[in-house]
Chain A
């Protein structure tokens, strides 16, 4: 009888999981999202042209890709630059895109990275004694395939509900219009929201940094699975003979003030160590414009005609690399 109960519990679980997966398969993610099935990955490119990809989070998304492209193609017309930045990206997330990215055979990948890329491992705390959670995380990371590692039923269910009802009158009525955004030609995944074209004052940035402190925004952990994912990305690119440039994304002074000196040192050691280990160029942009008036918030350079310096500098790095 006891085993009969266990059998029926297992049966219930199996049916529930099957139904859940059936629902998810019946309502797949649409292609215009930021997933691996994005149409960009299946696009036919001009065979005569070579491709350079900018990858990373919204910090990279704020680059003026059109300008970068113009500067690069001025002397190298056969090269086209695409911005594959994804809002909220991190190495684990990016790793899922690598197979598709590599299949497009880019000539060079420019990867922008900063403290925030390593802060998204929630629950990661520094403990003086060995932490079994971290061990399990690493086991999961190594032995589970990527979809299982990042699978989140709640997000899928909510997406299906939202997609299913998006055209029904009750769900569209009175809904605030989406914020206006600028889609640059070679930006693949993320547009630039209209509000990020403004340049904030020092006072506004200071206030924002204080507000974000309360929500634990300025956290950094160096010993996470994110670091391992970053190494895996670089290693997979090198295995496929794809050049890579790393750069630390620019941050505002108020953001930097909130990061402890220890964390900064940790981060520098980690990123320099990786650059040295894989023998790849690393450009430090962290402090480059920290005091300049070019910020739309404490971690994003504004998309504005007065802030082109960021895009120009990145374009110059690419040109230098091509001409090497």
Chain B
């Protein structure tokens, strides 16, 4: 189910009404699970079988890991569990890509091998729920958590509808205790938690949801046609047109994805669940590593904890650290989709991180350099970082390699031509207005911390004014045939 449809609004109101009306804890939990399954079934139909399979698979393997005494056997069970998860993900997401590469290689070597492509559909959200589920078995293996007391609890964790389709990626360790009553800050109780909608949660949740819709419908969807037009075929465009398209895409993807995350976080908060923040002003990052502390935080921290650290992190040699960073970002790129452009995007970010780390290793004084601590130095760092981040967005957006490399070349080596840019500016005044408006609002938001919380703390009449203006702006640009969120296809 798409968040930006009337169907979701009706669905969510029904869920909240039932949860408010029926206080029975067991019923509330079963109902939440069924609602989540319905939410998924609504768009994915029979592909819900894969979600249920993943849930059952890890539920049983989690228990087996916990019950097993021998460390070696534990490891073996974990490997089987991971093979199941990643095998499913790999088959549905990467089988055709692998076949295409194999056939290409065969042609190059005149092997005359043509493996037919598999007629597979890409199951929505498979990348996300596979990663959720892995945190459970690995968590038990690492003794970070104990198995859940009931299957329903585990199934809710995997299928919890606000974050099911496009994250933020949940950790079992963080979410599962929220289904039980808290005894104190560390210990959770035996009793299931009653889902209660409180005033504070309702107000902040609605604020976050409304802002999420605003980002997606007002900004992302209005900028998208402009981006599509520029990136449909970049070859032949001048540098300024490419740069403008790249900036527009950077804004579109931020508003689209962070808008989705906001709606997910807001919906969860209303029901009393805390799910991790996914974005923290990423376009103000001052270095590549800072960027990944601000962009898709739930993925970057997942990759850090479940891939980078197991690979050795920065505990081994320096070259190994650089290689680890590179591998992690390469796989992170591939996680987004079975296509070379995502691989290149990952490789670019892996290189940025490795180069940045090596520079800090070679010139440790850079970290405490007075210039980089000053206002001018920070602005300089932000501009350099974002220049690189936006260069990588070109790879993310364009999957035709010729068009992609052409666009990258034009982005790096400016041609100072104005043949395309002027007609583009003239004929796209509305998207340009949205881009300027976003930049202004984004700059203002940089100055204010915890904007959403501050808005929700406004007096009720001012809060209503905020809601009315934001809802009106969103409604005026609401498309009755809504477009998918970009991250849906991952």
Contacts and interface: CB of A to CB of B under 8 A. Distances in A.
Contact of B471 (A12, A150, A157, A175): A12
Contacts of A161: 430
Contacts of B426: 173-175
B472 to A, nearest CB: 4
B146 to A, nearest CB: 35
B206 A5 contact: yes
Nearest to B468: A12
B273 interface: no
Given A8-B460, A20-B476, A152-B481, A15 B46 contact: no
Interface in B22-78: 38, 41-43, 45-46
Contacts of B427: 175-176
A11 B464 contact: yes
A19 B472 contact: yes
Given A154-B480, A157-B477, A2 B199 contact: yes
Contacts of A127: 45-46
Interface residues of A, number: 40
Interface residues of B, number: 34
A171 interface: yes
B116 interface: no
Given A12-B468, A20-B476, A2 B45 contact: no
B202 A152 contact: no
Contact of B477 (A13, A133, A136, A154): A154
A23 B475 CA distance: 12
B429 interface: yes
A16 B475 contact: yes
A133 B42 contact: yes
B293 interface: no
A114 B146 CA distance: 60
B401 interface: no
Nearest to B460: A8
For the residues of B in contact with A, the DSSP-based class is helix
Contacts of A153: 475-480
B479 A152 contact: yes
B203 interface: yes
A131 to B, nearest CB: 6
A67 interface: no
Contact of B46 (A9, A12, A128, A132): A128
B196 to A, nearest CB: 10
Given A158-B430, A170-B429, A173-B426, A4 B460 contact: yes
A2 B42 contact: no
Interface in A102-147: 122, 125, 127-129, 131-133, 136
Given A136-B7, A154-B477, A15 B468 contact: yes
A25 interface: no
A41 B406 CA distance: 53
Contacts of A170: 429
Nearest to B38: A132
Contacts of A129: 41, 45-46
Interface in B76-122: none
A131 B45 contact: yes
A17 interface: yes
B477 A8 contact: no
Contacts of B467: 8-9, 12
A1 B110 CA distance: 74
A151 interface: yes
B481 A8 contact: no
A5 B459 CA distance: 11
B345 to A, nearest CB: 22
A178 B129 CA distance: 50
A133 B38 CA distance: 11
A12 B203 CA distance: 13
Contacts of A6: 202
Nearest to B196: A2
A317 B429 CA distance: 49
B197 interface: yes
A176 B428 CA distance: 13
A17 B429 CA distance: 26
A8 B464 contact: yes
Nearest to B422: A174
17 contacts: A1-B199, A2-B198, A2-B202, A8-B463, A11-B464, A128-B46, A129-B41, A132-B41, A133-B43, A150-B480, A152-B480, A153-B475, A153-B477, A153-B480, A154-B479, A175-B427, A176-B427
- Which 7 A-B residue pairings sit nearest by Cβ, starting from the closest? A127-B45, A12-B467, A152-B480, A16-B472, A16-B471, A154-B479, A12-B468
Given A2-B197, A132-B38, A153-B477, 9 more contacts: A5-B199, A5-B206, A13-B471, A129-B45, A131-B45, A133-B42, A151-B480, A154-B221, A158-B430
Interface of A: 1-2, 4-6, 8-9, 11-13, 15-17, 19-20, 23, 122, 125, 127-129, 131-133, 136, 150-155, 157-158, 161, 170-171, 173-176
